[in-house]
Chain A
Amino acid sequence: MTETELRERRNEWSAPYWEGVDRQELRYQHCEECGRSVFPARLYCPRCASDRLVWRPSNGRGEIYSFSTLELGAVAAFIDDVPYTIVVVDLDEGFRMTSRVVTDDPISLRCGLRVQVDFPSNGRPLPVFIPLLQS
Chain B
Amino acid sequence: MDHSVAIVGVGETRHGRFADRSSLSMALEASRQAIEHAGLYPREIDAVIIAPAFADAAFNTDMAFGRLVEELGMRDSAQIIMQAGAGGSTGDRLLRISRGLIASGQARHTLCVHADKFTELTKNQILEFFAVAGFDTEFEAPYGVTYNTIASLTAQRWLHETGATERALADMASSLKEWASLDPNAASFQRPISTEDALAAPILQWPIRTSMAPPPADGGSAFVVTSTADARSMRQSAAYLIGEASRVRTYSFTQHDDYTRMGWADVADKAFAEAGISRNDVGIAQFYVAYPIFHLILLEEFGFTPRGSAEDFVASGATRPGGRLPVMTNGDAIGHGHTGSGVGVATLVDTARQLMGEAGARQVPDLEFVVEASAGGSYMDTNVAMFGREPR
Contact = CB atoms under 8 A, between A and B. Distances in A.
Chains A and B form a bound pair? yes
A50 interface: no
B210 interface: yes
Nearest to B127: A75
B254 A73 contact: no
Interface in B119-151: 124, 127-128, 131, 135-146, 148-149
A88 interface: yes
Most chain A CB within 10 A, of B137, B144, B149, B255, is at: B144
Interface in A95-135: 96-100, 110-112, 124, 126
Interface string B250-278: 10101100010000000000000000000
A44 interface: no
Contacts of A75: 124, 127-128, 131, 144, 146
Interface string A30-44: 000000000111000
B203 interface: yes
Contact of B138 (A11, A67, A70, A72): A11
B156 A73 contact: no
Nearest to B206: A69
A73 B124 CA distance: 9
B163 interface: no
Contacts of B142: 1, 6, 9, 124, 126
B309 interface: no
A66 B153 contact: yes
Contact of B259 (A66, A77, A81): A66
A33 B235 CA distance: 55
Contacts of A39: 139, 255
A67 B210 CA distance: 18
A68 B138 contact: no
B124 A9 contact: no
A40 B157 contact: no
A13 B359 CA distance: 52
A97 to B, nearest CB: 8
B154 interface: yes
A78 to B, nearest CB: 4
B200 to A, nearest CB: 14
B247 interface: no
B204 interface: yes
Interface of B: 124, 127-128, 131, 135-146, 148-149, 152-154, 156-157, 160, 202-206, 210, 213, 250, 252, 254-255, 259
Query: 9 tightest A-B contacts by CB?
Result: A68-B152, A78-B144, A40-B139, A66-B157, A66-B153, A111-B160, A98-B140, A9-B138, A98-B254
7 contacts: A67-B156, A71-B202, A73-B146, A75-B124, A96-B255, A98-B143, A100-B144
Given A1-B142, A96-B254, A110-B160, 15 more contacts: A1-B144, A9-B142, A66-B156, A68-B152, A70-B204, A71-B202, A74-B127, A78-B144, A86-B144, A86-B152, A97-B139, A97-B254, A98-B139, A111-B160, A126-B142
